[in-house]
Amino acid sequence: GESVGLHLPTLSVQEGDNSIINCAYSNSASDYFIWYKQESGKGPQFIIDIRSNMDKRQGQRVTVLLNKTVKHLSLQIAATQPGDSAVYFCAENHYGQNFVFGPGTRLSVLP
């Protein structure tokens, strides 16, 4: 079946370093992707999205890269801060159907 997965379940980075969180998706027809951040006790928070007609999209300190050839999505966080510690989910959508979420990656920022 269709699935969205993550290569690394946990990621630890030093404060100030850049973080890269990866996501593999299996459905080549997916045309819309979102990254969410979920802090403990809270719901997922929208970070950034990208549609399949783009390869890269930048936000404030975050960049999403989409490689449709290998069905890979990544989230780059520049100058990682303690407040970035959370679980990050990627989600895919195709043809306006329901989103499929990956299992999540926990990002821990070390002092």
Which residues in this chain contact another protein in the complex, by CB under 8 A? 31-32, 34, 36, 41-46, 49, 89, 91, 93, 96-104
Nearer to another protein, 21 or 44 (CB): 44
Nearer to another protein, 3 or 14 (CB): 3
Question: Please, what is the minimum distance in Å from the beta carbon of residue 56 to another protein?
Answer: 18
Nearer to another protein, 13 or 87 (CB): 87
Q: How far apart are CA 25 and CA 94, in angstroms?
A: 12
Structure tokens that stand for 103 in this block: 């299992």
Three-state DSSP state, 83: helix
Q: Measured over all CA atoms, what is the biggest interatomic distance in the chain, rounded to whole angstroms?
A: 43
What single DSSP character describes residue 84?
G
Nearer to another protein, 14 or 73 (CB): 73
Listed in sequence order, the residues at least 6 apart from 72 whose beta carbon sits closer than 8 Å to its beta carbon are 22, 23, 24, 25, 66
Cβ atoms of 34 and 81 within 8 Å: the answer is no
Question: Please, what is the minimum distance in Å from the beta carbon of residue 42 to another protein?
Answer: 5
Question: Please, what is the minimum distance in Å from the beta carbon of residue 97 to another protein?
Answer: 7
Question: Please, what is the minimum distance in Å from the beta carbon of residue 15 to another protein?
Answer: 26
